[in-house]
Structure 1
Amino acid sequence: MPRGEARWAWLLSDGGEPRNWMLILAPLLGWHANGWAGLRWGALAALFTAVLPTLILHLGERRRYWGDRHVRRRQDRIVAAPGVLASVLTGTALLYALDAPVAVVALVTAMVAVLLALLVITFFWKVSVHSAVASGALAVLATVFGPWTFVLAPLVVLIGWSRVRLRCHTVGQVAVGVLIGAAVSTPLYTYLG
C-alpha cells in the first residue's frame, strides 16, 4: 500500500474508533435532550461507553492479554469483551437508576444491544466493530436529527475502507458490521427514545 494511502487509512481507522463516536454522540444527545444538564448525563454515558472501555483495552494490551487496542484477533475479542461489556452495562444501569434523559439511556441501551450481537457473531466469525458503531451512530443521528445527517454516510464507508485497507477486516466483515450496527440500533433507539 502506498505510504500516503496507509497514512489516510490509519487516520480514518483511529478517528473512527468506537470510543470517538461515543465521546461525541452521548454528550451531543444529552445536550439536545436537556441542555447543560443533559450534557453532563452524556458525559457520564461517555465515561462508561468510551473512556473506561479504552482504559480496559489499554490495560489488556499492556499486560499482553491481546496484541493491540484494536484487539484484532477474534479469540482475543472474546477475552476482552466481558470487561468492556461490564463497563457499558454498569453505565447503562446507573443511567437508568439515576433517571438520565431518555435519549442518553436509549443510546447506551442500543449500544449494549449492538455489542451483544457482535459478541455472539465473534464466537464464530470476526466482524468490524468500527463499522458497526459508525453505522449505528449514524442511524441514531438520523433518528434524532433527521435524514439530512446521512450526508455523513461517506464517513462510514471510509472507515470501512480503512479497516479493509489495513487488512484488519474483509469487505464482508465490514458490511456485516454496518448492517448489524444500523439494524440493531435503529429500532431499539426509536422504541426507547
Structure 2
Amino acid sequence: MVSGDTEAVAPATPSVARTVTEVFAPAVWAAMMPLVVAVHATAPRWAAGLGWGLLALLFSAAVPYGIIWWGVRRGRLTDHHIGVREQRRGPLIGGLLSVLAGLAALVLLGAPRPLVAMVVVMFAVLLVVTAVNQIWKLSAHAAVSAGATAVLVVLFGPALLPAFGLVALIGWSRVRLGDHSTGQVLAGAVAGVLVAVPTYLLLV
C-alpha cells in the first residue's frame, strides 16, 4: 500500500512544478506589478490607475513576451522560458529596450512616481539578469519574483513577508524541473531583492 501511494504521488510532482513555473513566470509578474502599483498610487481613482498600469504593462510584459513568443515560433528559441543560456541575450536585450521605451513614455506623460519607480526596478532587475546570464544561468524566475515581492512588502508592510514563501515555491519548481541549480535560484532571489528595494526606495 505504501509503495502504491508513493507511485501515485511521485509522477504528479513534475506537473505541480511545471504549473508553478508557468503561473508565476517573469512575464506574469511583469504584467501584475505595474497594475498593482499604479492602482495603489492613484487610489481611489481606480480607472486612472488602471490606465497607467496597462500602459506600463504593454512595454514591461506584452512586448517582451511577444519577442520571446516570436523567437519560439521562428525556431530561434527552444522554449518560452529560454532554457538555453546562449539564446537569452537577444530576447533579454529586446526586453530591456522595450521597458526603457515604456519608462520614457511614462515619464513624458506624467505617470505616478511609484509606477515610474516600479518600471525602473523592472529595468534594473532585468539588466542584472541579462548581464549575469552572459556568463552564468541566473534564475530570472527567482530574481523577478523576489524583487517584486520585496516591493510589495515595501508597499503594503510586513504583513506580506510570508509571501516570500511563494518565492521559495517558485525556486523549488525551477530546481525540480532541472532548469536551474539551487545556487542559481538562490543567487537570483538575492539579486532581485538587493536591486529592487534600494532602487524603489530611492525613486519613490
Tell me the TM-score normalized by structure 2.
0.92
- 1:54 to partner: Cα distance: 1.1
Quick one: which of 11, 24, 45 aligns to 1:16? Answer: 24
Distance 1:28 1:110 in 2: 14
Q: State the AA in 1 paired with 2:56.
A: A
Percent identical: 40
The reply on whether 1:6 has 2:8 as its aligned counterpart is no
Alignment of 1:115-130 (within 5 A): 115-130=126-141
Runs of at least 5 residues in structure 1 that lack an aligned partner in the other structure:
none
The reply on whether 1:163 has 2:174 as its aligned counterpart is yes
Q: Is the 8 A contact 2:147 2:196 kept in 1?
A: yes
The count of residues paired between Structure 1 and Structure 2 equals 193
The reply on whether 1:81 has 2:89 as its aligned counterpart is no
Q: Is the 8 A contact 2:41 2:114 kept in 1?
A: yes
Q: State the AA in 1 paired with 2:26.
A: P
Q: Is the 8 A contact 2:125 2:143 kept in 1?
A: yes
Quick one: which of 103, 107, 123 aligns to 1:96? Answer: 107
- 1:79 to partner: Cα distance: 2.3
- 1:11 to partner: Cα distance: 0.7
Q: Find the counterpart in structure 1 of residue 4 from structure 2.
A: none
Q: State the AA in 1 paired with 2:188.
A: G
- 1:89 to partner: Cα distance: 1.0
- Deviations along 1:54-83, one digit per CA (max 9) or x if unpaired, are 111000011111101000111100122121
Q: Is the 8 A contact 2:64 2:91 kept in 1?
A: no
Q: CA RMSD in A?
A: 1.1
Q: State the AA in 2 paired with 1:149.
A: L
- 1:97 to partner: Cα distance: 1.1
The reply on whether 1:180 has 2:180 as its aligned counterpart is no
Runs of 4+ in 1 over 2 A off after TM superposition: none
Distance 1:46 1:8 in 2: 27
Q: State the AA in 2 paired with 1:129.
A: A
Q: Find the counterpart in structure 1 of residue 37 from structure 2.
A: 29
Distance 2:11 2:74 in 1: 31
Q: State the AA in 1 paired with 2:191.
A: I
Distance 1:169 1:48 in 2: 27
Tell me the TM-score normalized by structure 1.
0.97
The reply on whether 1:138 has 2:149 as its aligned counterpart is yes
- 1:190 to partner: Cα distance: 0.6
- 1:84 to partner: Cα distance: 1.3
Distance 1:185 1:49 in 2: 15
Matched position secondary structure for 1:7: helix
Larger Rg: 2
Q: Find the counterpart in structure 2 of residue 148 from structure 1.
A: 159
Distance 1:19 1:106 in 2: 18
Distance 2:76 2:104 in 1: 27
Runs of at least 5 residues in structure 2 that lack an aligned partner in the other structure:
1-8
